[in-house]
Amino acid sequence: MCDNIKIKNSNEIDFDLEHDSELTSKINEAFNKAESGEMRFYSSQESEKLMDERKSRVRSKNLTSHK
């Protein structure tokens, strides 16, 4: 029974390390894009407008595909 607990804990630790590594990689990628000028930042108003436009396009596609 103790062996199962150790294995479970080991797997959890491995998962945590893998997740940390992936998260670190994504964060570094984002900073690299920001530093190179590849990233564009939007104001709250701009992002809300963009999301509304995207939602509208998705809704219109869904309406036309269900006819």
Across 14-23, average pLDDT: 79
Helix ranges, 1-67 (H)? 2-36, 44-65
- From its phi and psi, is residue 22 left (phi > 0), alpha (psi between -120 and 50) or beta? alpha
Top pLDDT among 9 and 32 is at 32
pTM of the complete model: 0.44
pLDDT value for 5: 43
Domain interval for residue 26: 2-65
Top pLDDT among 12 and 35 is at 35
pLDDT value for 62: 80
pLDDT value for 35: 93
Domain count, the chain: 1
Contact by Cβ (8 Å): 50, 42: yes
Tokens standing for residue 9: 């804990």
